[in-house]
Copies of this chain bind each other. A is one copy, B any other.
Amino acid sequence: MKQNKVAVYRKEHFNAAHRLHNHAWSDEKNATVFGSCNNKNFHGHNYELIVKVTGEPNPDTGYVLDLKVLSALIKKEILDQFDHKNLNLDTVYFQQVNPTAENIAKVIYQLLRDKLDEQLELKIFLYETERNYVEYPA
């Protein structure tokens, strides 16, 4: 077996406000299902974002992808849109979509997937708190 693939990980973070809410539901149902996460005035998190990129290292550089390049890409595509923002009000992605960690991870995946070489595999880990986090795709 020839094992050439290596995964590289870059960790970034952003601070954002959000609330969980399903517009198709009554306020009562939202409060019941989402509890304090449904607070109408929002709450917030220090999101820790880990981006995993898998591929074959370039034989000249020894890099799968220069992590400075990946960090700059995450900054441009994700942090500039999400950091110090209200995810529900300040971004276009969560007008209809509920900003659960699951859904935020999927949005981040799609934004980065569009900018990465097809031959590179991509995975997103998103920590909402140190104790609650998600992985996409699983």
A100 lies within 8 A of B62 (CB): yes
B62 lies within 8 A of A134 (CB): no
| Selected contact of A8 from candidates B7, B9, B42, B134, CB within 8 Å | B134
A86 lies within 8 A of B6 (CB): no
- Specify which chain B residues have a CB less than 8 angstroms from the CB of A133 in the assembled complex: 8-9
Q: Chain B CB within 10 Å — which of A34, A42, A45, A135 has the most?
A: A42
- Specify which chain B residues have a CB less than 8 angstroms from the CB of A64 in the assembled complex: 102, 134
- Specify which chain B residues have a CB less than 8 angstroms from the CB of A103 in the assembled complex: 57, 62
Enumerate chain A interface residues (CB-CB to B < 8 A).
3, 5-13, 15-18, 20, 22, 24-25, 33-37, 39, 41-46, 52, 54, 57, 60-64, 66-68, 83-86, 89-90, 97-103, 105-106, 129-138
Going nearest first, the 3 A-B pairs with the smallest beta carbon separation are A44-B44, A36-B84, A41-B86
